[in-house]
Amino acid sequence: MAGIHRHKFKTIDNTGFGPNSSVEGGRLMNKDGSVNLKKRGLPFWTRTSIFHTLLRMKRSHFLMMILLFYTCVNVFFAVIYFTIGVTHLMGVDGNVSLGYQFMEAFFFSSQTLTTVGYGHVAPSGMMANAVASVESLIGILVFALVTGLMYGRFSRPKAYLLFSNNVLIAPYKEGKGLMYRIASYKNNHLTDVEANLTMALHTKENGKTVTRFYPLPLEMSKINSLALSWTIVHHINEESPLYNLSKEDLDDAKMELITSIKAFDDHFSNIVQQRTSYTNEQLIFGARFLPMFERSQTGTSTILELNKINAHEPVTLTEKIHSNNVRNIEVKP
């Protein structure tokens, strides 16, 4: 397995991942671009940004949380009003069952919290009035918060990029290239799009597993505008750390490709960023991407077929670099 030591190739140690952070069976970066890392040693609330958690939560969960919160707060205040006594809620008949009284207290609470305040039930006396006064303040503060969260959720700059599921080793120029493909899938428009690709190899050095990071230079690392899809290409030539590495080599080294895309989104007028990583299992030797756009039937515009982002076909790789030792790699996709 000596071949995997890529001594002559430049490594970088400014990836933010340490050389010793590698773990058996784990990846460095998850598919969604988050780091495969847990934090510990500080209280949960200190090491968690509530705002961001609520911002990044799935929409359905977010709505559930609001509903749950609404119910809990109302129950909480209903208990207080109930304890004070429903006789201090004008309009509630004191002769009904306790359950019914609690229900009235609950709905009075909800009318206060949302500031609807119909008034058919209204607080009377110092205590009930004071509690209602505080509850309506809380209502306004909470919904101020919710307004901010709603806006934050919607306006959070996101790249909305679709990555191909696989990285292909395809014929490129006289030799081979490593290729993956991106497209923006929403009605936003990205300009000044930059791509960056780093390969992590977990190698044994002096009996210790060490993670080495190799930058993989791209044939084109910046485009002016991401109108169509963009196939990002690293040329596997003699300068490439991937040169002469076989699928087995890469599997052994648990190769991981870490890529980040940075762009200017002109809807948000903001810089957006999206990251992902590919493991060795997502690498296909000998395949090339199929086109993912076509002319519209009227012929006046182009159609980008987003479902074809990963469409590829097998292809035979023939290496002929400089030399006389042409080798064929049989590929069974």
Nearer to its own copies, 111 or 285 (CB): 111
Instruction: Mark residues 311-330: x for contact with its own copies by CB under 8 A, - for none.
Output: --------------------
Are the beta carbons of 170 and 196 closer than 8 angstroms? no
**Among 35-43, 80-88, 166-174, 320-328, the segment contacting its own copies (CB under 8 A):** 35-43
Q: How far is the CB of 197 from its own copies (least distance, A)?
A: 11
Report which of 277, 271, 115 is spatially closest to residue 191, judged by C-alpha positions: 271
Out of 11, 165, 225, 237, the only residue in the binding site for its own copies (CB under 8 A) is: 225
Q: In this structure, what DSSP letter does residue 35 have?
A: B
Out of 1, 3, 87, 185, the only residue in the binding site for its own copies (CB under 8 A) is: 185
Q: Does 166 bind its own copies (CB under 8 A)?
A: no
Q: Sign of the CA dihedral 171, 176, 178, 183?
A: negative
Please tell me the count of residues contacting its own copies according to CB under 8 A.
120
Tokens for 169, please give them: 């080793």
Report which of 31, 19, 8 is spatially closest to residue 166, judged by C-alpha positions: 31
Out of 7, 8, 39, 58, the only residue in the binding site for its own copies (CB under 8 A) is: 39
Q: In this structure, what DSSP letter does residue 290 have?
A: P
Rg (CA), the chain: 30
Out of 101, 166, 188, 280, the only residue in the binding site for its own copies (CB under 8 A) is: 188
Residues whose CB falls within 8 Å of the CB of residue 261, separated by 6 or more in sequence, listed in order: 159, 161, 182, 193, 194, 195, 196, 273, 274, 275
Q: Does 276 bind its own copies (CB under 8 A)?
A: no
Instruction: Mark residues 55-94: x for contact with its own copies by CB under 8 A, - for none.
Output: xx---------xx--x---x---------------x----
How many Å from the N-terminal Cα to the C-terminal Cα in the chain? Answer: 25
Give residues 193-222 in contact with its own copies (rule: CB under 8 A): 193, 196, 198, 220, 222
**Among 134-142, 237-245, 249-257, 312-320, the segment contacting its own copies (CB under 8 A):** 134-142
Give residues 226-265 in contact with its own copies (rule: CB under 8 A): 226-228, 230, 260, 264
Out of 3, 34, 238, 316, the only residue in the binding site for its own copies (CB under 8 A) is: 34
Convert 210-247 into a string of H (helix), E (strand) and C (coil). EEEEEECCCCCCEEEECCCCEEEEEEECCCCCCCCCCH
Phi, psi values for residue 24, rounded to 5°: -60, 125
Q: Does 129 bind its own copies (CB under 8 A)?
A: yes
Nearer to its own copies, 123 or 241 (CB): 123
Are the beta carbons of 164 and 310 closer than 8 angstroms? yes
Q: Does 127 bind its own copies (CB under 8 A)?
A: no
**Among 37-45, 170-178, 233-241, 313-321, the segment contacting its own copies (CB under 8 A):** 37-45
Query: What's the CA gap between 276 and 259, in Å, rounded?
Result: 6
| Alpha-helix runs per DSSP H in 85-164 | 98-113, 126-155
Q: Does 49 bind its own copies (CB under 8 A)?
A: yes
Nearer to its own copies, 1 or 303 (CB): 303
